[in-house]
Amino acid sequence: MAILEEMSALLQKGRAAKVKELVVQALEEGVSPEAILSEGLLSGMSIVGEKFKRNEVFVPEVLVAARAMNAGVELLRPYLVEAGVESKGVAVIGTVKGDLHDIGKNLVKMMLEGKGLEVHDLGVDVSAETFVQKAIEYNAKVICCSALLTTTMGEMKNVVEEAKKAGIRDQVKIMVGGAPITQEFCDQVGADYYTADGASAGDVALKICLGEM
């Protein structure tokens, strides 16, 4: 549909005001909220994510695109609720205890939202107990842990252990990422998935929520 293709293209350029205009126009033309979301907004953000993965666009371009997507989603939200359209899954995300870095975590959050997931951002310096309590509270299928420091990455093991202690380890997948994190480290601490970049994290989280991983 031409209007949704245009919406997707404008979203990729970060044109929030134009995206909002087109969301209104599409609704007036009778396009379903679900189609606007998936074919206009999420498809645009997905292309941005792929370009980001290939280093064809960078953080500023991702941020302005995410802002445009969120502007469109906010307008659309009441219509999505009315139509009974649900998110594709729930994730909680945060930077581990002792670590105050947030740009990597924020990028992953945007990529997950761009996949249609409901994401609860727990912020930075998040304790293992909080990760698990919030995962239970929001019925999350994914816990995403971020760390930038070699001195804080060990906290990820505490999140895994805390999930076991709370009895939810088989109900939730734990994803880890950040500058010092590797697949080897992920295996070592007993987490489920490591991804090297935010866009790949979005792909994996979506597959988890759809039961494909």
Partner 1 sequence: MKWTREEYIKHMTFEKTERQMFVELFGPLIRLDEEWREQGATEEEIGMVGFDWDFVPVVNCGGHTGILPAFERRVLEDTPEYTISTDGYGRKVKLSKGYATIPLPLDYPVKTMDDWLKIKPRFEYSEDRIDWAQVERAKQLQKEGVLVLAWMEGGFDLPRELMGEEGACIAYYEDPELMEDILATVADTTYKVLDKISDHLLIDNLCTHEDLAGKSGPLVGPSIIEEFIKPYYRKIWDMLSAKGTKLFSMDSDGNMNPVIDAFLDCGVNIMYPMEPAAGMDIVELRKKYGKKVAFKGGIDKHVLRSSKEEIKKELEYKMQALMQEGGVCFGLDHRIPNGTPLENYKYYIDTAREILGMPPRDKDKCGWARQAF
The residue ranges that bind partner 1 (CB under 8 A) are 14, 53, 55, 57-61, 63-64, 67, 98-101, 103-104, 106, 125, 149-152, 178-180, 182, 196-198
CB-CB neighbours of 197 under 10 Å? 18
Inter-residue long-range contacts of 51-60, CB under 8 Å, 24+ positions, other chains counted: 52/111, 52/197, 52/198, 52/199, 53/197, 53/199, 53/200, 59/103, 59/107
What pairs with residue 118 in β-bridges? 90
Nearest approach, Cβ of residue 136 and partner 1 (Å): 25
Nearest approach, Cβ of residue 151 and partner 1 (Å): 5
Identify which of residues 16 and 26 has a Cβ nearer to partner 1 in the complex. Answer: 16
How far is residue 60 CA from its own chain's centroid?
17
Nearest approach, Cβ of residue 6 and partner 1 (Å): 20
Identify which of residues 89 and 131 has a Cβ nearer to partner 1 in the complex. Answer: 131
Nearest approach, Cβ of residue 17 and partner 1 (Å): 11
Identify which of residues 159 and 172 has a Cβ nearer to partner 1 in the complex. Answer: 159
Identify which of residues 59 and 210 has a Cβ nearer to partner 1 in the complex. Answer: 59
Query: Within 30-102, where are the H helices?
Result: 33-35, 43-53, 59-82
Structure-block tokens of residue 205: 């989280």
Identify which of residues 97 and 173 has a Cβ nearer to partner 1 in the complex. Answer: 97
Nearest approach, Cβ of residue 73 and partner 1 (Å): 18
Q: Are 205 and 175 in contact (CB under 8 A)?
A: yes
